[in-house]
Amino acid sequence: MKRMFLFLSSLGASVYFSLGADNQTPPATPQAPTQQPCCCARMSGGGMQMGQMQMGGQGIRMGMDMAAFAPLPADFATDTNPMTPAKIELGRMLFFEKRLSANGRLSCNSCHDLASYGVDHQTTSSGFWNQKGTRNSPTVYNAAGYFAQFWDGRAATVEEQAKGPILNPVEMGLPSGSAAVAALKSIPEYVALFSAAFPGNPDPVTFDNVAAAIGAFERKLVTPSRWDRFLAGDPSAMTRPPYIRAMRWQYSASSM
């Protein structure tokens, strides 16, 4: 009996290990790393289309039509307000001109600080008597490229928008456009600058021309980046690891 027991035990162990060995997954055969195809970028209809892209030795799958994107232009020029160096310079001075406010302390730059991303970092901006507005001041950078101005879109262009804060009783507080013109005409240097910016105009210092000059200046406030260089056809603009990680996140998020 003892021999029979040992025999059956050995037989059972053999069957168990044999079955266990049959159920084991064989080790995977090492696969050679596949080579990501290089960037297939081409300009098509004014846009860029991407298949897969090799950047900095790291492949990025981009399965979307890049024609939806376009690089920022050098400026947001318009036929309705031709940009000239004289007009842009006048607009720059008017953008910083505090005498266009009722208390002589506020300018366009007060709420749209160009040294601080074009904003004042306040929930709502303070007016000339420290009144608080009801809406946040958006950045002025790239604003000329928007299809509408103000949060409610009540102005179509930056030229039209430029008039609003000057006459708003909660903002810069001048009573009328005539008051702005009178303040500027009292300064001989401004009269000369308006004459240079609007040649051939017998009376160039007008409220409409104030807005046109500020608008011309704001149309130059453009902030192109590496992304815009990349869209313009420079594949080397997005080769650094931080930009690669950002693009991976962007395209993974867009596929959700």
Would you call 160 a catalytic residue per the annotation? no
Q: What's the token pair of residue 41?
A: 């970028």
Is the Cβ–Cβ distance between 69 and 47 less than 8 Å? Answer: yes
Structure tokens given for 126: 């303070």
From 97, 159, 171, 218, the catalytic residue? 171
Burial class (CB in 10 A: 0-12, 13-18, 19+), 33: exposed
The values of phi and psi at residue 59, to 5°, are -80, 145
Distance CA 152, CA 89 (A): 29
Give the pair of three-digit tokens for residue 7.
């025999």
Active site residues: 171
